[in-house]
Amino acid sequence: MLFRSENPLQKIACDILGLPYIQIKPNVGISTNYLKKKKVTLSEYASLRVKEWYAPGGWQRIVDLFNKYGYEVCVVSKEYSYLSNVVNKSGDRPLENRIKDMAESKYHVGMSTGLSWLAWACHCHVFLISDFTPPDHEFECTRIYNLESPRKVINYFEVQNPVSIEYVLSKIEDKLIQDQS
């Protein structure tokens, strides 16, 4: 079992410091008017197995969806990616390179990990796939999770009922269509 907080991480820090809870993006040294390209960054790995999304073929289907809409998909995780039709920048590369890729991307797809937080700080719209943390525990993003996943008690090694591929794709596609209007 893992300790589960009932509050978002930023709220916990505010409560400890006696400050009002206001969501604040950290400054990672990039301009807010960075030229956004028709590009999306993606990281299919997390620091803990329980945070990862186990949907066989799901990540490739996400890549295929963005490719269908004309987006360049850039993989930025440290762990090597075997996805097709991507710009593969996975591996042991400087964090500054990942920041540059995120800063010029409109979107990031990831999980409840540091790279998703970094993408948010780089002013990307984040699609966060997570059946691990409660829905209000990260930052403002498109949170994609299975409403049926139990969050009171989660086995450290396995998430029951991961969010379906079809649901993830529909949430992403809805946002892409909305942003085209």
pLDDT in single tens digits along all 181 residues of the chain: 344 456 676 778 888 899 888 887 878 777 666 678 899 999 998 877 777 788 889 999 999 999 999 999 999 999 999 999 999 999 999 988 999 999 999 999 998 888 999 999 999 999 999 877 766 677 788 888 877 665 554 554 555 677 889 999 999 999 999 998 8
Location of structure tokens 């994609």: 144
User: Cβ(145)–Cβ(167) under 8 Å?
Assistant: no
- Could you tell me the pTM of the whole model? 0.84
Instruction: Assign 145 to helix, strand or coil.
Output: coil
CA distance 55 to 81: 15
